Structure 1
Protein backbone atom coordinates (compact mmCIF):
# COMPACT_ATOMS: atom_id res chain seq x y z
CA UNK A 1 0.00 0.00 0.00
CA UNK A 2 1.48 3.34 -1.01
CA UNK A 3 1.60 6.04 1.59
CA UNK A 4 -0.73 8.82 0.48
CA UNK A 5 0.27 12.38 1.11
CA UNK A 6 -1.31 13.93 4.16
CA UNK A 7 -3.77 16.42 2.84
CA UNK A 8 -3.98 20.04 3.82
CA UNK A 9 -6.00 19.22 6.92
CA UNK A 10 -4.49 19.39 10.39
CA UNK A 11 -5.70 18.99 13.97
CA UNK A 12 -7.69 22.02 15.17
CA UNK A 13 -8.68 22.93 11.60
CA UNK A 14 -12.33 23.56 10.93
CA UNK A 15 -13.50 21.59 7.92
CA UNK A 16 -16.76 21.14 6.06
CA UNK A 17 -17.96 17.58 5.71
CA UNK A 18 -20.68 17.51 3.02
CA UNK A 19 -23.32 15.53 4.88
CA UNK A 20 -22.80 17.18 8.28
CA UNK A 21 -21.49 20.72 7.78
CA UNK A 22 -18.77 22.36 9.86
CA UNK A 23 -16.71 20.20 12.18
CA UNK A 24 -13.32 20.45 13.82
CA UNK A 25 -10.48 18.00 13.35
CA UNK A 26 -9.64 16.88 16.86
CA UNK A 27 -6.80 14.55 15.95
CA UNK A 28 -5.34 12.20 13.40
CA UNK A 29 -5.11 8.62 14.59
CA UNK A 30 -4.17 5.22 13.26
CA UNK A 31 -6.50 2.27 13.67
CA UNK A 32 -6.49 -1.27 12.47
CA UNK A 33 -9.69 -2.04 10.63
CA UNK A 34 -10.20 -5.46 9.04
CA UNK A 35 -6.48 -6.12 9.19
CA UNK A 36 -5.54 -2.85 7.50
CA UNK A 37 -3.81 0.05 9.22
CA UNK A 38 -5.74 3.18 8.45
CA UNK A 39 -4.94 6.76 9.22
CA UNK A 40 -8.08 8.63 10.21
CA UNK A 41 -9.14 12.21 10.77
CA UNK A 42 -11.18 12.39 13.96
CA UNK A 43 -13.72 15.16 13.38
CA UNK A 44 -15.94 16.51 16.12
CA UNK A 45 -19.31 18.09 15.36
CA UNK A 46 -19.83 19.63 18.77
CA UNK A 47 -23.32 20.95 18.19
CA UNK A 48 -24.55 17.52 17.04
CA UNK A 49 -22.54 15.76 19.77
CA UNK A 50 -21.08 13.55 17.08
CA UNK A 51 -17.60 12.32 16.21
CA UNK A 52 -16.72 11.09 12.76
CA UNK A 53 -13.63 9.18 11.66
CA UNK A 54 -12.66 9.70 8.05
CA UNK A 55 -9.77 7.87 6.35
CA UNK A 56 -7.21 10.58 5.50
CA UNK A 57 -6.72 9.26 1.96
CA UNK A 58 -10.47 9.48 1.27
CA UNK A 59 -11.14 12.92 2.75
CA UNK A 60 -10.96 14.95 -0.46
CA UNK A 61 -12.65 12.25 -2.56
CA UNK A 62 -15.75 12.44 -0.38
CA UNK A 63 -15.83 16.21 -0.63
CA UNK A 64 -14.38 17.22 2.73
CA UNK A 65 -13.03 20.73 2.35
CA UNK A 66 -11.54 23.62 4.23
CA UNK A 67 -13.78 26.48 5.29
CA UNK A 68 -14.81 28.86 2.55
CA UNK A 69 -12.76 32.00 2.11
CA UNK A 70 -14.26 35.26 3.43
CA UNK A 71 -15.07 36.39 -0.12
CA UNK A 72 -17.03 33.18 -0.78
CA UNK A 73 -18.98 33.89 2.42
CA UNK A 74 -19.63 37.42 1.16
CA UNK A 75 -20.84 36.03 -2.19
CA UNK A 76 -23.06 33.50 -0.39
CA UNK A 77 -24.61 36.32 1.66
CA UNK A 78 -25.10 38.30 -1.57
CA UNK A 79 -26.92 35.26 -2.99
CA UNK A 80 -29.43 35.58 -0.14
CA UNK A 81 -30.40 39.02 -1.43
CA UNK A 82 -31.42 37.60 -4.80
CA UNK A 83 -34.95 36.83 -5.80
CA UNK A 84 -36.09 33.32 -4.86
CA UNK A 85 -35.95 31.00 -7.83
CA UNK A 86 -38.67 28.42 -7.49
CA UNK A 87 -39.11 25.92 -10.27
CA UNK A 88 -42.56 24.74 -11.17
CA UNK A 89 -41.66 21.13 -10.46
CA UNK A 90 -43.52 18.95 -7.99
CA UNK A 91 -42.53 19.59 -4.38
CA UNK A 92 -41.03 16.12 -3.95
CA UNK A 93 -38.69 16.79 -6.89
CA UNK A 94 -37.71 20.24 -5.59
CA UNK A 95 -37.24 18.89 -2.07
CA UNK A 96 -34.84 16.29 -3.44
CA UNK A 97 -32.84 18.99 -5.24
CA UNK A 98 -32.72 21.15 -2.11
CA UNK A 99 -31.54 18.18 -0.08
CA UNK A 100 -28.77 17.48 -2.60
CA UNK A 101 -27.64 21.11 -2.47
CA UNK A 102 -27.56 21.06 1.33
CA UNK A 103 -25.56 17.82 1.42
CA UNK A 104 -23.18 18.94 -1.33
CA UNK A 105 -21.31 20.99 1.25
CA UNK A 106 -21.12 23.81 -1.32
CA UNK A 107 -21.76 27.08 0.52
CA UNK A 108 -23.18 28.82 -2.56
CA UNK A 109 -25.66 25.97 -3.16
CA UNK A 110 -26.67 26.05 0.51
CA UNK A 111 -27.21 29.82 0.30
CA UNK A 112 -29.48 29.25 -2.73
CA UNK A 113 -31.65 26.89 -0.67
CA UNK A 114 -31.90 29.45 2.14
CA UNK A 115 -32.82 32.15 -0.40
CA UNK A 116 -35.41 30.01 -2.18
CA UNK A 117 -37.11 28.71 0.97
CA UNK A 118 -36.98 31.89 3.11
CA UNK A 119 -40.39 33.32 3.99
CA UNK A 120 -40.99 36.77 5.37
CA UNK A 121 -43.75 37.16 7.93
CA UNK A 122 -46.37 38.25 5.41
CA UNK A 123 -45.84 35.31 3.08
CA UNK A 124 -47.71 32.03 3.14
CA UNK A 125 -46.86 29.38 5.72
CA UNK A 126 -44.18 26.81 5.01
CA UNK A 127 -45.02 23.14 5.02
CA UNK A 128 -43.27 21.00 7.60
CA UNK A 129 -40.81 19.54 5.07
CA UNK A 130 -40.07 22.98 3.61
CA UNK A 131 -39.35 24.28 7.09
CA UNK A 132 -37.05 21.30 7.83
CA UNK A 133 -35.01 21.87 4.67
CA UNK A 134 -34.89 25.63 5.26
CA UNK A 135 -33.65 25.20 8.83
CA UNK A 136 -31.05 22.60 7.82
CA UNK A 137 -29.69 24.91 5.11
CA UNK A 138 -29.81 27.95 7.40
CA UNK A 139 -27.92 26.10 10.13
CA UNK A 140 -25.19 24.95 7.72
CA UNK A 141 -24.83 28.46 6.33
CA UNK A 142 -24.78 30.07 9.77
CA UNK A 143 -22.20 27.65 11.17
CA UNK A 144 -19.83 28.24 8.30
CA UNK A 145 -20.30 32.02 8.44
CA UNK A 146 -19.54 31.84 12.18
CA UNK A 147 -16.42 29.67 11.71
CA UNK A 148 -15.05 31.79 8.85
CA UNK A 149 -15.66 35.15 10.53
CA UNK A 150 -14.57 33.91 13.95
CA UNK A 151 -17.83 34.97 15.58
CA UNK A 152 -20.23 32.88 17.59
CA UNK A 153 -23.30 31.36 15.98
CA UNK A 154 -25.60 34.02 17.43
CA UNK A 155 -23.54 36.75 15.74
CA UNK A 156 -23.50 34.84 12.46
CA UNK A 157 -27.25 34.20 12.76
CA UNK A 158 -27.85 37.94 13.15
CA UNK A 159 -25.69 38.69 10.12
CA UNK A 160 -27.65 36.20 7.98
CA UNK A 161 -31.00 37.42 9.35
CA UNK A 162 -30.09 41.04 8.59
CA UNK A 163 -29.42 40.12 4.96
CA UNK A 164 -32.69 38.17 4.68
CA UNK A 165 -34.69 40.98 6.30
CA UNK A 166 -33.09 43.64 4.07
CA UNK A 167 -34.11 41.58 1.05
CA UNK A 168 -37.73 41.57 2.11
CA UNK A 169 -37.77 45.36 2.61
Structure 2
Protein backbone atom coordinates (compact mmCIF):
# COMPACT_ATOMS: atom_id res chain seq x y z
CA UNK A 1 0.00 0.00 0.00
CA UNK A 2 1.49 3.36 -0.97
CA UNK A 3 0.20 6.29 1.00
CA UNK A 4 2.96 8.86 0.97
CA UNK A 5 5.24 9.29 -2.04
CA UNK A 6 8.24 8.98 0.28
CA UNK A 7 7.34 5.89 2.30
CA UNK A 8 5.67 2.57 1.64
CA UNK A 9 4.95 -0.54 3.65
CA UNK A 10 8.18 -2.53 3.95
CA UNK A 11 10.47 0.51 3.74
CA UNK A 12 13.35 0.77 6.17
CA UNK A 13 13.35 4.19 7.81
CA UNK A 14 15.21 6.06 10.53
CA UNK A 15 13.25 7.80 13.26
CA UNK A 16 15.12 10.29 15.49
CA UNK A 17 15.99 8.89 18.92
CA UNK A 18 14.66 5.43 17.92
CA UNK A 19 16.97 4.23 15.16
CA UNK A 20 16.15 2.06 12.16
CA UNK A 21 12.63 0.77 11.80
CA UNK A 22 10.43 -0.92 9.23
CA UNK A 23 7.05 0.36 8.10
CA UNK A 24 4.85 -2.64 8.84
CA UNK A 25 1.47 -1.27 7.82
CA UNK A 26 -0.60 1.81 7.13
CA UNK A 27 -3.97 1.64 8.85
CA UNK A 28 -6.91 3.94 9.35
CA UNK A 29 -7.55 4.45 13.06
CA UNK A 30 -10.00 6.58 14.99
CA UNK A 31 -8.34 8.26 17.94
CA UNK A 32 -10.14 10.87 20.02
CA UNK A 33 -12.96 10.90 17.48
CA UNK A 34 -10.68 11.70 14.54
CA UNK A 35 -10.07 9.21 11.73
CA UNK A 36 -6.63 9.29 10.19
CA UNK A 37 -4.12 7.05 8.48
CA UNK A 38 -1.32 5.86 10.76
CA UNK A 39 2.05 4.43 9.82
CA UNK A 40 2.80 1.41 12.00
CA UNK A 41 6.57 1.20 12.43
CA UNK A 42 8.48 -1.52 14.24
CA UNK A 43 11.95 -0.93 15.66
CA UNK A 44 13.86 -4.17 16.12
CA UNK A 45 16.74 -2.40 17.89
CA UNK A 46 14.39 -1.29 20.71
CA UNK A 47 11.86 -4.11 20.33
CA UNK A 48 9.03 -1.59 20.08
CA UNK A 49 6.35 -0.35 17.72
CA UNK A 50 5.12 3.19 17.03
CA UNK A 51 2.05 4.57 15.30
CA UNK A 52 2.63 7.90 13.59
CA UNK A 53 -0.26 9.78 11.97
CA UNK A 54 0.21 10.53 8.30
CA UNK A 55 -0.24 14.24 9.04
CA UNK A 56 2.88 14.16 11.26
CA UNK A 57 5.18 12.17 8.96
CA UNK A 58 6.68 15.22 7.24
CA UNK A 59 7.49 16.94 10.55
CA UNK A 60 8.54 13.85 12.50
CA UNK A 61 12.11 13.71 11.23
CA UNK A 62 11.60 10.30 9.66
CA UNK A 63 13.96 9.67 6.77
CA UNK A 64 15.02 6.81 4.55
CA UNK A 65 18.02 4.75 5.59
CA UNK A 66 21.15 6.39 4.17
CA UNK A 67 23.03 4.90 1.23
CA UNK A 68 26.62 3.75 0.83
CA UNK A 69 28.01 7.24 0.07
CA UNK A 70 26.88 8.33 3.54
CA UNK A 71 28.92 5.51 5.04
CA UNK A 72 32.06 6.99 3.48
CA UNK A 73 31.18 10.34 5.07
CA UNK A 74 30.69 8.67 8.47
CA UNK A 75 34.07 6.98 8.23
CA UNK A 76 35.61 10.32 7.24
CA UNK A 77 34.05 11.94 10.32
CA UNK A 78 35.62 9.24 12.47
CA UNK A 79 39.05 9.49 10.85
CA UNK A 80 39.38 13.22 10.26
CA UNK A 81 36.84 15.02 12.43
CA UNK A 82 37.77 17.02 15.47
CA UNK A 83 35.75 17.62 18.59
CA UNK A 84 35.36 20.92 20.41
CA UNK A 85 37.40 20.55 23.60
CA UNK A 86 36.35 23.96 24.94
CA UNK A 87 32.83 22.85 25.89
CA UNK A 88 31.88 22.02 29.46
CA UNK A 89 30.17 18.66 29.92
CA UNK A 90 26.77 20.41 30.19
CA UNK A 91 27.32 22.30 26.93
CA UNK A 92 28.62 19.13 25.28
CA UNK A 93 25.58 17.18 26.49
CA UNK A 94 23.14 19.78 25.11
CA UNK A 95 24.97 19.98 21.78
CA UNK A 96 25.05 16.20 21.46
CA UNK A 97 21.38 15.83 22.43
CA UNK A 98 20.43 18.40 19.78
CA UNK A 99 22.41 16.42 17.20
CA UNK A 100 20.74 13.15 18.19
CA UNK A 101 17.27 14.70 17.95
CA UNK A 102 17.86 15.51 14.28
CA UNK A 103 18.04 11.79 13.47
CA UNK A 104 20.68 12.55 10.85
CA UNK A 105 23.34 9.90 10.32
CA UNK A 106 26.27 12.32 10.22
CA UNK A 107 25.14 14.17 13.34
CA UNK A 108 24.82 10.86 15.19
CA UNK A 109 28.26 9.82 13.98
CA UNK A 110 29.71 13.05 15.41
CA UNK A 111 28.12 12.31 18.79
CA UNK A 112 29.59 8.81 18.84
CA UNK A 113 33.03 10.04 17.75
CA UNK A 114 33.14 12.90 20.24
CA UNK A 115 31.97 10.86 23.23
CA UNK A 116 34.28 7.96 22.38
CA UNK A 117 37.21 10.38 22.22
CA UNK A 118 36.23 11.94 25.56
CA UNK A 119 35.90 8.48 27.12
CA UNK A 120 39.48 7.69 26.11
CA UNK A 121 40.68 10.73 28.08
CA UNK A 122 38.45 10.43 31.13
CA UNK A 123 35.40 8.62 32.42
CA UNK A 124 32.10 9.87 31.04
CA UNK A 125 29.43 10.95 33.51
CA UNK A 126 26.41 8.62 33.64
CA UNK A 127 24.29 10.81 31.34
CA UNK A 128 26.93 10.96 28.65
CA UNK A 129 27.70 7.27 29.02
CA UNK A 130 24.03 6.48 28.40
CA UNK A 131 23.96 8.90 25.46
CA UNK A 132 27.01 7.22 23.92
CA UNK A 133 25.39 3.79 24.25
CA UNK A 134 22.19 4.97 22.56
CA UNK A 135 23.93 6.94 19.81
CA UNK A 136 26.25 4.01 19.08
CA UNK A 137 23.33 1.56 19.00
CA UNK A 138 21.41 3.74 16.51
CA UNK A 139 24.49 4.32 14.36
CA UNK A 140 25.30 0.61 14.29
CA UNK A 141 21.72 -0.26 13.36
CA UNK A 142 21.85 2.03 10.34
CA UNK A 143 25.32 0.87 9.29
CA UNK A 144 24.06 -2.71 9.38
CA UNK A 145 21.28 -1.83 6.93
CA UNK A 146 23.57 0.21 4.66
CA UNK A 147 26.19 -2.52 4.35
CA UNK A 148 24.04 -5.59 4.92
CA UNK A 149 26.38 -6.76 7.69
CA UNK A 150 26.03 -8.16 11.20
CA UNK A 151 26.02 -6.10 14.39
CA UNK A 152 29.55 -7.33 15.21
CA UNK A 153 30.86 -6.45 11.76
CA UNK A 154 29.36 -2.96 12.04
CA UNK A 155 30.99 -2.52 15.47
CA UNK A 156 34.35 -3.62 14.06
CA UNK A 157 33.96 -1.15 11.20
CA UNK A 158 33.36 1.72 13.65
CA UNK A 159 36.13 0.71 16.02
CA UNK A 160 38.62 0.44 13.17
CA UNK A 161 37.69 3.95 11.98
CA UNK A 162 38.61 5.59 15.30
Relative to the length of structure 2, the TM-score reads 0.89
Is 1:53 matched up with 2:51? Answer: yes
Structure 1 runs of 4+ with >2 Å offset: 119-130
In the TM superposition, what are the counterparts of 1:4-153 in structure 2 within 5 Å?
A: 6-119=4-117, 123-153=121-151
Provide the aligned length of Structure 1 versus Structure 2.
160
Aligned CA distance change for structure 1 residues 99 and 122 (closer, same or farther; 3 Å): closer
1:158 to 1:113, Cα distance in 2 relative to 1, 3 A = same
Give me the whole-angstrom Cα distance separating, in 1, the residues matched to 2:100 and 2:63. 15
Gaps of 5+ in 1: 165-169
Aligned twin of 2:159 = 161
For 1:140, what is the secondary structure of its paired residue? helix
Please report how far the alpha carbon of residue 86 of structure 1 lies from its aligned counterpart in structure 2 after TM superposition.
Answer: 2.1
Report if aligned partners of 2:140, 2:155 keep a CA contact under 8 Å in 1: yes
Q: CA offset at residue 83 of structure 1?
A: 4.2
Aligned 8 A contact 1:102 1:136 in 2: no
Alignment gaps of 5+ in structure 2? none
